[in-house]
């Protein structure tokens, strides 16, 4: 019997092109004309305070939101179009994992290749086990998501993305609600996946350490606007007070922010 | 007027969901595992409550008609009245109402929860259409199970009527006369009409429940609201369709 090939399928790193992206919910404009390019194989980190529109931006890249105005193209494919989106193999690691609660961890990972009939049963099993092992989750294979801690759920979500063998990996706040060690582990995993598979990664986060450590380039968003894009070193040296404050917020107990803003 | 517009809009969107789901019919052979699972949920778990309630509906019907007909000395017709009522109206309507309460609510809660916790979004990003995985198997399962539930409701309703008609002292009808009333006056077409109604009601209930569940937006609190909306819309649809289907089948 021939040996099963569990090596990942050949990948094509995809570029992202966002042109004047605007999104409004009712009268509230959440994204105010975002334009950027992400190069194939790059790790791009989009940072910004809570409520700045980062997750909405990410949902547009995943084709989960339709732009009010502007274009989002991944490798020249319009992901907002239901007929075109299947041409892009992208994986989104959701902030809360978005694991299927009725399925075991193993079945969560196996769902994509099974539904798309990518491999035979044995190969799927081997690929799932390999992904679980990569993220130190082998013991959790038969557990259901409700039995997992927050950090494990995130790792399962990343493992599920790995089994998809995506051309583009999107991460929504991958280190939120995690302890510093787990956050560092997740950051290492993101960087390692790019090293190993050359996959383009876009990370949305307000974790400064993650952005400055693993990002090839970093974008800063605030109130739906893109303030700056640069390398981590370039971002650190910027003079814009909003960026400075976001990167180095000094705690001032004598003159607290919430009283100043009120 | 606004409420009417809102309801019409909901039913229209549910119809569009049906169209989108039917596009995935060619994938049905691959969905058989899910269809069987849904048959179990729709059929097996609803069976006991349909059986119990149908028994009592048949009983009450026999009691009421017996009480009224005894004045005219016409209790021999109880079998015919219960037989026709259960077959043409109460069996399918009660089975559908129980389906809405027992299964429709569970489906809308499950899908609403999947929507709120981004499981549906995860499916979309994985290029797995939610209509194919979550809606189509349920629609097929209800088509398979609803006739069974309706038949159960009709037959157990008849039996409930027979027990009351024969055991209640002021009626005291011989069960043979009761069942003669059913066999002589309830035609195959009456039962078939009932099954057609049940099929349409059941299908509508599941479609509406799936639609409402998948339309859920917001936080966990919206899951409860979706369940309420799914059941209310299902009941409206059952009673609305009942009139027009009855008229069409007469």
Quick: pLDDT tens for A185-241: 888 888 988 888 888 999 999 888 889 999 999 999 999 999 999 999 999 888 888
**Residue B205 domain flag:** yes
pLDDT by position in tens, chain B (length 250): 788 888 888 889 999 999 999 999 999 998 899 999 999 999 988 899 999 999 999 999 999 999 998 888 888 899 999 999 999 999 999 999 999 999 999 999 999 999 999 999 999 999 999 999 999 999 999 999 999 999 999 999 999 999 999 998 888 889 999 999 999 999 999 999 999 999 999 999 999 999 999 999 988 889 999 999 999 999 999 999 999 999 998 8
In the block, residue with structure tokens 């700045």: A52
Q: How confident is the model at residue A79 (pLDDT cuts 50, 70, 90)?
A: confident
Angle formed at CA B217 by CA B212 and CA B218, multiple of 5 degrees: 140
- CA nearest to A244, candidates A253, A235, A255: A235
Q: How far is B153 from chain A (nearest CA, A)?
A: 31
Residue A4: pLDDT over 60: no
Please state the domain count of chain B: 1
Kindly determine whether residue A101 and residue B121, on different chains, have CB atoms separated by under 8 Å: no
Contacts of B88 (CB under 8 A, 6+ apart): B190, B193, B194, B197, B246
- pLDDT, position A9: 52
End-to-end CA distance of chain B: 31
- Cβ pair B117:A101 closer than 8 A: yes
Residue B13 counted as domain residue: no
| CB < 8 Å to A169, chain B | none
Tokens of B204: 């509508």
In a domain, B15, yes or no: no
Q: How confident is residue A248, by pLDDT bands cut at 50, 70 and 90?
A: confident
Domains of chain A: 18-81+200-248 (3.40.50.300)
* Residue A150 or B198, more confident: B198
Residue B184, domain extent: 46-249
ipTM of the complex: 0.85
- Among partner residues A98, A111, A116, which is closest to B118 by beta-carbon distance? A98
Q: In sequence order, what are the residues at sequence separation of 6 or more whose Cβ sits closer than 8 angstroms to the Cβ of residue B250?
A: none
Name the one residue in this structure whose structure tokens are 């939120």.
A176
CB atoms within 10 A of CB A254: 4
Please name the residues in contact with A100: beta carbons below 8 A apart, sequence gap of 6 or more.
A107, A108, A111, A145, B114, B119, B122
**Subunit contact B122:A92, Cβ cutoff 8 A:** yes
Question: Is pLDDT above 50 for A2?
Answer: no
| Percentage above 90 pLDDT, chain A | 54
Using CA coordinates, name the residue in chain A closest to B27. A115
Distance CA B67, CA B61 (A): 10
Per the CB < 8 Å rule, is A98 touching B122?
yes
Summary mean pLDDT of chain A: 87
Contact residues on chain A for B133, CB-CB shorter than 8 A? 115
Q: What pLDDT is stored for residue A38 in this prediction? A: 93
User: Within a domain: residue B27?
Assistant: no
Q: Do B127 and A116 make contact, defined as CB atoms within 8 angstroms?
A: yes
Contact B117 A63 (CB under 8 A): no
Of B117, B124, B127, the CB nearest to A64: B124
Chain B contact set for A62 (CB, 8 A): 121, 124-125
Is residue B16, in this structure, part of any structural domain at all? no
Number of A/B CB contacts below 8 angstroms equals: 47
Residue B9 lies in a domain: no
Interface mutation target, options B24, B106, B109, B122, chain A, most CBs of A under 10 Å? B122
Instruction: State the average pLDDT over residues A39-57.
Output: 91
Nearest CB among A85, A86, A94 relative to B122 is that of: A94
| Closest among A41, A42, A83, A36 to A61, alpha carbons compared | A36
Interface of B with A in 128-187 (CB under 8 A): 128, 133
């Amino acid at each position: 019997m021939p040996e099963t090939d569990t090596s990942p399928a050949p990948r094509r790193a995809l570029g992202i092109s966002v042109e004047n992206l605007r999104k409004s919910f009712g009268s509230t404009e959440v994204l105010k004309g975002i334009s950027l390019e992400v190069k194939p194989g790059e790790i791009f980190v989009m940072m910004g305070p809570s409520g700045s529109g980062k997750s909405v931006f990410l949902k547009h890249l995943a084709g989960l939101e339709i732009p009010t105005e502007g274009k989002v193209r991944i490798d020249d494919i319009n992901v907002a179009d239901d007929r075109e989106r299947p041409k892009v193999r992208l994986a989104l690691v959701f902030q809360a994992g978005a694991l299927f609660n009725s399925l075991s961890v193993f079945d969560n990972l196996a769902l994509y290749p099974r539904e798309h009939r990518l491999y035979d049963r044995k190969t799927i099993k081997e690929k799932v086990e390999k992904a679980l092992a990569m993220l130190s989750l082998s013991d959790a294979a038969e557990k259901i998501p409700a039995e997992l801690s927050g950090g494990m759920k995130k790792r399962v979500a990343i493992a599920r993305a790995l089994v998809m063998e995506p051309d583009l990996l999107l991460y929504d706040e991958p280190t939120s609600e995690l302890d510093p060690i787990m956050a560092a582990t997740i950051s290492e995993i993101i960087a390692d996946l790019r090293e190993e598979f050359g996959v383009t990664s876009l990370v949305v986060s307000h974790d400064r350490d993650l952005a400055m450590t693993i990002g090839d380039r970093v974008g800063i968003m605030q109130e739906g606007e893109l303030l700056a894009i640069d390398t981590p070193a370039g971002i650190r040296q910027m003079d814009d007070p909003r960026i400075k404050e976001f990167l180095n917020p000094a705690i001032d107990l004598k003159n607290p922010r919430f009283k100043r803003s009120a | 007027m606004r409420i009417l517009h809102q309801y019409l809009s909901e039913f229209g969107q549910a119809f569009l969901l049906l169209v989108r789901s039917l596009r995935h019919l060619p994938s049905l052979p691959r969905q058989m595992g899910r269809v069987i699972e849904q048959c179990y949920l729709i059929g097996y778990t609803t069976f006991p409550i349909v059986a119990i309630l149908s028994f009592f509906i048949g009983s009450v019907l026999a009691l009421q008609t017996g009480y009224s007909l005894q004045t005219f000395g016409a209790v021999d017709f109880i079998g015919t009245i219960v037989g026709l009522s259960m077959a043409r109206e109460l069996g399918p309507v009660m089975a559908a109402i129980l389906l809405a309460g027992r299964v429709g609510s569970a489906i809308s809660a499950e899908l609403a929860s999947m929507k709120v916790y981004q499981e549906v979004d995860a499916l979309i990003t994985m290029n797995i259409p939610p209509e194919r995985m979550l809606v189509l198997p349920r629609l097929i399962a209800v088509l398979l199970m609803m006739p069974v539930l309706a038949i159960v409701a009709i037959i157990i309703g008849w039996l409930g009527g027979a027990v009351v008609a024969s055991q209640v002292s002021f009626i005291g009808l011989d069960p043979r006369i009761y069942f003669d009333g059913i066999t002589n006056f309830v035609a195959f077409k009456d039962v078939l009409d009932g099954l057609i109604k049940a099929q349409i009601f059941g299908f509508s209930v599941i479609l509406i429940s799936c639609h409402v569940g998948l339309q859920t937006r917001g936080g966990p609190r919206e899951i409860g609201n979706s369940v309420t909306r799914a059941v209310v819309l299902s009941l409206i649809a059952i009673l609305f369709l009942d009139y027009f289907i009855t008229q069409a089948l007469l």
